[in-house]
Structure 1
Amino acid sequence: MTIAFVTGSTGLLGNNLVRLLLAKGWHVKALARSATKFQAQFADLPALAIEPIVGDLLDPATFSRHLRGVDVVFHAAAYFRESYQGGAHEEALMRVNVDGTRQLLLAAAAAGVTRVVHTSSIATLRNATGVTLQEDDLAAPEDAVDAYYRSKILCDQVVAQFAHEHPSMRVATVIPGWMHGPGDEGPTSAGQFIRDFLSRKLPGVVDASFSVVDARDVAQVMLAAALQGQAGRRYLAAGRAMHMRNLMAAMAQVTGIPAPMRRLPRALLTAIALVQEAYARLTGRPVLLSLATVNNIGRDRSRRFSDQRIREELGIQFRPLEDTLRDAVAWHRSRLSPRTAS
């Protein structure tokens, strides 16, 4: 039986990856910071199907002994959602995304693990208009639009350097876009978008495009990268580029809820974000719209990403968007009150 160690196991990508591995007959050691979150996420699975490891990425002593005998480490943990809730998060981003990844890789090497699949982000790719970006069109840290983007760029540099220094280990990297799908307990920004749409809280449409991908498809790419991927290779799983108005229209078709039509100008979003950031500093509470989010909306408006490598080398294609949204909506509706999810 092949043994996997999955970080970020309770997250949107992590839990779908765990379920895929279990379905393929793997033994899964699932790292989670909270036993409560673990139990909530995997309550539907048989107790013996998965081995929970309660630990912290920043404290290798809490998980390093569990790496012995592991065939593949899937690194899906990251500090992400909190960094878009207002305020400054650079220290935490660097500590978790950069230093935490470095410590995990060193612990895996010390335990004799030979394969690692690292989860990156389209944040690591350069900003370009009129071209289709490939896996190795890398951005520089000084070009990052915010601290999260910078942390992911630096994290990928750590992974690349580690792979260079440990040629006996096969390290591959998967680069997802904006992930949607069932199992989004967080919720992520995608899950919050769906919940806000269901509860009719979205005030209008922003002039923005996104690369939308099913987390289950990203999990398939992760598994294929572990089994077939080349050492040092990067695999883009960004999904389909689409404007927010088209995503809203698809949501309306799936849910039966009319999509908001009012256009929200960038200047209005910036003003709202500034007020929200001031609110965050005064209260310490998360915001509905941060400056980092507004900056990302402007940056990702025109980027397009290639799926050629995952099609040709891994044999993977993305499922229909309607299937992704339908399953995600059904999952979120099951967790919202009937009145909210109408």
Structure 2
Amino acid sequence: MAVAFVTGGSGFVGGALIRRLVADGWQVRALARSERSARAVTVAGAEPAAGDLDQVDALATGAGSADVVFHCAAFVKQWGRREEYLRGNVTGTRNVIEACRRAGVPRMVHVGTEAAMLAGEPLIDINEDTPLRPDSKSLYCSTKAMAELAVREANGGGLRTVVVRPRLVWGPGDATILPALVEAVREGRFRWIGGGRHLTSTTYIDNAVHGLVLAATARDPGPSYFVTDGPPVVFRDFIGELVGTQGVTIPDRGLPPAVARFVAVAAEGAWRVLRLPGEPPITRTAVWLSALECTVDISRATNELGYRPPVTREQGMAALSSPP
């Protein structure tokens, strides 16, 4: 029986991954930094392993005898202190790498993101050769790029590292993107930046997990792979349908991109200088992720991993529309 150790198992992607691995017959342990996390990973089917990303010894214990470590944990908020992003995305990743080496784990699969290439310009038909942007002015984007660079540099010496990058992960269990969109619409805060008619790639949760499993089980995987739902769609159409699964209709209200960028930069500056509580009403990361075209070429995953999205967008939307 194959053994996996999962970080971030109480989250959206990590929880879905645990359920898939257990269904496939894997024995799964998952990092749990709290009683709540322990309950969540237990319900998903994993054995909880106490610890957090700061504790290399605990990580190495959890990874003991594992065939694969899946690193799904990350600091994904659109606003936070620099040290929070560095700790959650960079130092945490390096600690997982060190734990893999101490435990003699042969393979590590890291959950990456197209945001690691994002620095304020559209990403059109990008592939695995598109440069990472650790210099991005978005802390989330820059630290995810730093984390991936660390994973790539760790490849070798008995440890094979692979990065799988889904774009805009959605589906049942999402506690971040869809709830935030629904709340913004209901409170009258939602605006289409630039009209929202640009193209976007998307990745249903089961498709993202499928890519992770393929990367873990491939005989000789490459360093990184993009996985998506297939051909891109119009952002406005996708988001409208996504929110519509919750019985919500988005009004036709727009905001010019230049205004959105100015407000985001000004808001971030005010929050940093004045140390205001909570999050700014809009951040540059939010503007980039929602207003810039992002289309992804998945031919490398198709050709080298045999990746085909097992769930269509139509099937995913139907799953979201169905009662739990």
TM-score by length of 1: 0.81
| 1:137 alignment partner in structure 2 | 130
| Post-superposition CA distance 1:2-57 (Å, at most 9, x none) | 11000010111100000000100111101132221442x35755xxx420113111
| Post-superposition CA distance 1:169-228 (Å, at most 9, x none) | 2221101111112223xx32344224545x464533223444321122111100011111
How far off its partner does 1:236 sit? 0.3
Secondary structure (helix, strand or coil) at the match of 1:141 reads coil
How far off its partner does 1:267 sit? 4.0
1:32-111 equivalence runs, <5 A: 32-39=32-39, 41-42=40-41, 44-45=43-44, 49-81=45-77, 84-85=78-79, 88-111=80-103
Amino acid of the residue matched to residue 14 of structure 2? G
TM-score by length of 2: 0.85
1:146 aligns with 2:138: yes
User: Which residues of structure 1 form unaligned runs of 5+?
Assistant: 335-342
Alpha carbons of structure 1 residues 327 and 43: separation in structure 2 relative to 1, 3 Å? farther
Alignment check: 8 A CA contact 2:116 2:145 kept? yes
1:189-204 equivalence runs, <5 A: 189-197=177-185, 199=186, 201-204=188-191
How far off its partner does 1:148 sit? 1.4
Amino acid of the residue matched to residue 70 of structure 2? F
Amino acid of the residue matched to residue 297 of structure 2? S
1:119 aligns with 2:111: yes
Q: Return the match for 1:230 from 215, 220, 230.
A: 220
How far off its partner does 1:256 sit? 4.6
| 1:290 alignment partner in structure 2 | 283
Alignment check: 8 A CA contact 1:125 1:135 kept? no
The whole-number CA distance in structure 2 between the counterparts of 1:276 and 1:161 is 33
**Structure number with higher relative contact order (C-alpha < 8 Å, ≥ 6 residues apart):** 1
Alignment check: 8 A CA contact 1:97 1:152 kept? yes
| 1:257 alignment partner in structure 2 | 248
Secondary structure (helix, strand or coil) at the match of 2:75 reads coil
Alpha carbons of structure 1 residues 192 and 130: separation in structure 2 relative to 1, 3 Å? closer
How far off its partner does 1:90 sit? 1.8
| 1:214 alignment partner in structure 2 | 204
Percent identical residues: 26
Amino acid of the residue matched to residue 319 of structure 2? D
How far off its partner does 1:308 sit? 1.1
The whole-number CA distance in structure 2 between the counterparts of 1:74 and 1:130 is 27
Alignment check: 8 A CA contact 2:267 2:281 kept? no
How far off its partner does 1:282 sit? 4.6
Alpha carbons of structure 1 residues 297 and 264: separation in structure 2 relative to 1, 3 Å? same
How far off its partner does 1:118 sit? 0.9
How far off its partner does 1:93 sit? 1.4
Secondary structure (helix, strand or coil) at the match of 1:317 reads coil
| Post-superposition CA distance 1:48-107 (Å, at most 9, x none) | x420113111111233222211110001111112xx13xx52222122211211111111
Q: CA RMSD in A?
A: 2.8
The whole-number CA distance in structure 1 between the counterparts of 2:225 and 2:219 is 9
1:265-304 equivalence runs, <5 A: 265-270=256-261, 272-273=263-264, 274-275=266-267, 278=270, 281-298=274-291, 301-304=292-295
Alignment check: 8 A CA contact 1:205 1:261 kept? yes
How far off its partner does 1:304 sit? 1.7
| 1:248 alignment partner in structure 2 | 239
| 2:154 alignment partner in structure 1 | 162
How far off its partner does 1:120 sit? 1.1
Alpha carbons of structure 1 residues 178 and 94: separation in structure 2 relative to 1, 3 Å? same
The whole-number CA distance in structure 1 between the counterparts of 2:279 and 2:227 is 29
Alignment check: 8 A CA contact 1:80 1:148 kept? yes
The whole-number CA distance in structure 2 between the counterparts of 1:231 and 1:315 is 11
The number of equivalent residue pairs is 316
The whole-number CA distance in structure 1 between the counterparts of 2:123 and 2:88 is 34
Alignment check: 8 A CA contact 2:111 2:163 kept? yes
Residues 88-97 or 3-12, more deviating? 88-97
Alignment check: 8 A CA contact 2:94 2:150 kept? yes
| 1:338 alignment partner in structure 2 | none
